[in-house]
Chains A and B, each alone.
Chain A
Amino acid sequence: MDTKFVKALKEVLREQLVEKNSVDIDGLGIFEVKHYEQHQKRYSNGKVVMMPPADVLEFKSNIKESDEN
């Protein structure tokens, strides 16, 4: 595969995802950034903490291993 293409693909995906845009690649899946608000969480030892907010990259795909075999 063309390294120039791979490099450009990485750059474009990064730029779009940092801008919180979702990217849909046909035949593969959708990349999207989900924002998680600050929230409380209780550990198994009973301690309650405030989890910081985060922007998390998520990937959704309908492709299953059996579909391709």
Chain B
Amino acid sequence: MKIDKNKLVELLVEKTNMDKKKIEAQLDQLTERILDAANRGKALEIKEFGLFFFDQNSELKFEPSDELTTEISFKYAGMKPVEMKPERDANIPAEIETFIPTDDENNVKVISKSTQDKSTEPKKETPNKDPQKKSTPIKPSAVRNKSLPRKRDNSLLWGFLAFLGVLLIGAWIYYMQPAEPIPVAETETEISPEQPISDMDTEGNDPEIDQSTDDLPENTEPDPPAEEQSEPDDVELEMEFELYGLTGDWVNDVNNAYSIVIHSFYREQRANEVAANYINDGYRTMVTSRVVNDLDVYRVSLGQFESIEDAQNSAKTLPEPFNTENFIQRIQ
């Protein structure tokens, strides 16, 4: 909507209860003062609003104050550029947002954990006055500092993968040893979630089971056995598959991932309330805190993604207006 001078005068009259002519006179006087100061080569500043001046091309310019800039772009305040292809070792750019979840909390507690992040996270993020135009180069000291938690997290990941490998080998040996006994073979066919339904039907010995699988919809049948599966290798495989995604539980062990930020709040309680709604809707949800202009800002983000592209693609699937009004932040 466009506010012209008449509408502006109306709003000012409403706000000040001053006479309309007086408001118009004040407005004209302000314009004259701005132009007069600018013509004398000076800038006129309206405190907490901005600065009027003539630039080198003799054009009238306005530079908004920091407060006004932050207020207008509050939703994105404090966001820094994210490197598209971050290196996995030490060369982590200073611009990348940091966010270090702890490993020992479940999905529900993740929300309250953000307050711990706030207290442990150094107040190093300050808003860019103009994030579109400005960026800072990599600072080696910052790189060194930020590489420490990353290395620790990588070791956990490698340990997890090694553990997974051992389990797979153990399971393979377990299956390969008892080739003769028939009962073992039967249980194997019943519980294997990787076999298609048709294989289960043909190999199953009990005709009643075959009929029941035929009667049920295909979508519902294969899932429950997979969830009830108690074989350790299959469980581990399923966990690995769900490390990333938009829905499900937040996985604390996922590092160097990206998430979609859709809300920013001044009040942590409000952020947690909103996040709880998204968790109820099945989204992986996290509340993170940032310090912007000495004020705490709490962001609600959805999903964990391996790459920015994955996050962007998933963001497009969100309901309006979040499919367009969002930004991607990196989590570590």
Contacts and interface: CB of A to CB of B under 8 A. Distances in A.
Contacts of B327: 38, 52-53
B8 A25 contact: yes
Contact of A4 (B16, B76, B82): B16
Looking at chain A's contact residues, is the secondary structure mostly helix, strand, loop, or mixed? mixed
B12 interface: yes
Contacts of B72: 17-18, 33, 55-57
Contact of B3 (A24, A54, A59): A24
A61 B63 CA distance: 13
Nearest to A22: B2
Interface residues of B, number: 59
A52 B1 contact: no
B145 to A, nearest CB: 19
B84 A50 contact: yes
Contacts, number: 158
A22 B69 contact: no
Looking at chain B's contact residues, is the secondary structure mostly helix, strand, loop, or mixed? mixed
B4 interface: yes
Contact of A8 (B12, B93, B308): B12
Contacts of B82: 49-50, 52
A28 B36 CA distance: 12
Interface in B3-41: 3-5, 8, 11-12, 15-16, 18, 22-23, 26-31, 33-35, 38-39
Contacts of B131: 51-52, 54
Interface of B: 1-5, 8, 11-12, 15-16, 18, 22-23, 26-31, 33-35, 38-39, 46, 48-49, 54, 58-62, 64, 68-69, 71-73, 75-76, 79-85, 93, 95, 130-132, 135, 137-138, 308, 327-328
16 contacts: A8-B12, A9-B12, A14-B71, A21-B3, A25-B8, A25-B27, A28-B35, A38-B327, A49-B84, A52-B80, A52-B81, A54-B131, A56-B72, A64-B59, A64-B60, A68-B35
